[in-house]
């Protein structure tokens, strides 16, 4: 199955009808796969904490009389482009580091590097190009936000190695993937706040939860090759852990909204988001890889729900 995926130019765990395969020339497919353009859920999950923070900060700025609709929309645009660029660069970096591991895991064996469709040099060059695109985006922000963006690279650098020394690599992913929860606020105010820091902690807990569900796809292969994960750590009974992680995420979001003075619709959306997280835990079947992947992807909807509530709360203040 994996061999045929590689022979066809596809990867095992990405939809074959994605726009990448309909629009891009075949020679560019491996690079799109390195950047995960054929799997947009990754950049969406990286983007949502950024947009949550930007919308939360915009609401606070409205109360202070310093809100600018143009600035908010520009920040949203920058965070979307930056998430796509930096998620692509990060995935390419991960694939370079995990080259040997990916060759041993059924789900990842058809990726461009282990299948031989790109060389390590080509992957490194592509990673640099994506990082430069991310840098151009970062330089549009204020100096404090630029500094925060640079500091985030420490977590990005460590994450691929975490599965080699801890059962909690998802925590390190959370540190990196949730960083936007403070950058959205700093982009608006040039400083940090208690609300942004709490939101960052909430996003970390959320990330650990959804990536644990994702990791159950590879648990058997990971056990064979010695790769560590929260899926292996939680074993056959992850529900208490997921209840704790998602519960902490929702509770901390509530306190972040409270600290920033978010409006009614932000809390209403949080209730809906909490229900969707509870649904994931209720129906989870860790022995069904396709369901694990579907539930993981569903967190993109969770992110949208929270953001929509924050935007609605902002619009009410503007009326």
Mean pLDDT by 10 residues, the chain (319 residues): 53 74 91 92 96 98 95 98 96 90 79 90 95 97 97 94 93 96 98 98 98 92 87 95 98 98 96 98 96 96 98 94
Inter-CA distances, 56 with 181, 183, 263, Å: 10, 11, 10
User: In 10 A of CB 169, how many CB atoms?
Assistant: 24
Q: What is the pLDDT of residue 109?
A: 82
Two tokens, residue 237: 């009974």
Two tokens, residue 20: 């990448």
3-state DSSP assignment of residue 201: helix
Dist. CA 33–CA 289, nearest whole Å: 20
CB within 8 A of 132, min separation 6: which ones?
A: none
Dist. CA 196–CA 77, nearest whole Å: 20
User: In 10 A of CB 26, how many CB atoms?
Assistant: 8
Q: What is the pLDDT of residue 20?
A: 87
Q: Is the dihedral of CA 50, 55, 210, 233 positive or negative?
A: positive
Dist. CA 172–CA 46, nearest whole Å: 14
Helix boundaries (H) for the chain: 2-7, 19-23, 29-34, 41-64, 69-97, 99-104, 120-138, 143-151, 153-162, 169-177, 180-189, 194-215, 219-225, 230-234, 239-260, 264-283, 289-297, 299-318
Q: What is the pLDDT of residue 4?
A: 47
Q: What is the pLDDT of residue 220?
A: 85
CA dihedral 90, 47, 171, 34 (to 10 degrees): -20
Do the beta carbons of residue 200 and residue 176 sit within 8 Å?
no
Two tokens, residue 72: 């908010």
Q: What is the pLDDT of residue 253?
A: 98
């Amino acid at each position: 199955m994996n061999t045929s995926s590689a022979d066809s130019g596809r990867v095992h765990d990405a939809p074959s009808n994605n726009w990448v395969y309909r629009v891009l020339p075949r020679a560019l497919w491996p690079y799109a796969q390195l950047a995960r353009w054929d799997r947009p859920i990754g950049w969406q999950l990286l983007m949502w904490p950024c947009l949550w923070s930007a919308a939360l900060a915009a609401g606070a700025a409205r109360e202070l009389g310093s809100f600018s609709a143009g600035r908010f929309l520009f920040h949203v645009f920058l965070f979307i482009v930056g998430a796509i660029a930096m998620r692509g660069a990060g995935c390419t970096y991960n694939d370079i580091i995990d080259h040997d591991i990916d060759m041993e895991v059924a789900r990842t064996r058809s990726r461009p590097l282990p299948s031989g469709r790109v060389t390590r040099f080509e992957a490194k060059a592509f990673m640099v190009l994506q990082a430069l695109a991310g840098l151009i985006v970062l330089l549009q922000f204020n100096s404090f936000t630029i500094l925060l963006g640079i500091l985030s690279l420490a977590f990005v650098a460590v994450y691929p190695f975490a599965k080699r020394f801890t059962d909690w690599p998802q925590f390190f992913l959370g540190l990196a993937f949730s960083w936007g929860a403070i950058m959205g606020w700093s982009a608006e105010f040039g400083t940090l706040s208690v609300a942004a820091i709490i939101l960052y902690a909430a996003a970390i807990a959320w990330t650990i939860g959804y990536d644990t569900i994702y990791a159950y796809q590879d648990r058997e292969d990971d056990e064979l090759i010695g790769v560590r994960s929260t899926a292996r750590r939680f074993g056959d009974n992850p529900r208490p852990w997921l209840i704790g992680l998602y519960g902490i995420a929702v509770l901390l979001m509530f306190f972040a909204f409270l600290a920033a003075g978010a409006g009614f619709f932000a809390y209403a959306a949080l209730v809906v988001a909490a229900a969707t997280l509870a649904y994931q835990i209720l129906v989870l079947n860790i022995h069904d890889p396709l369901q694990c992947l579907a539930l993981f992807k569903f967190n993109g909807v969770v992110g949208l729900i929270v953001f929509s509530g924050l935007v609605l709360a902002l619009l009410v203040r503007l009326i």
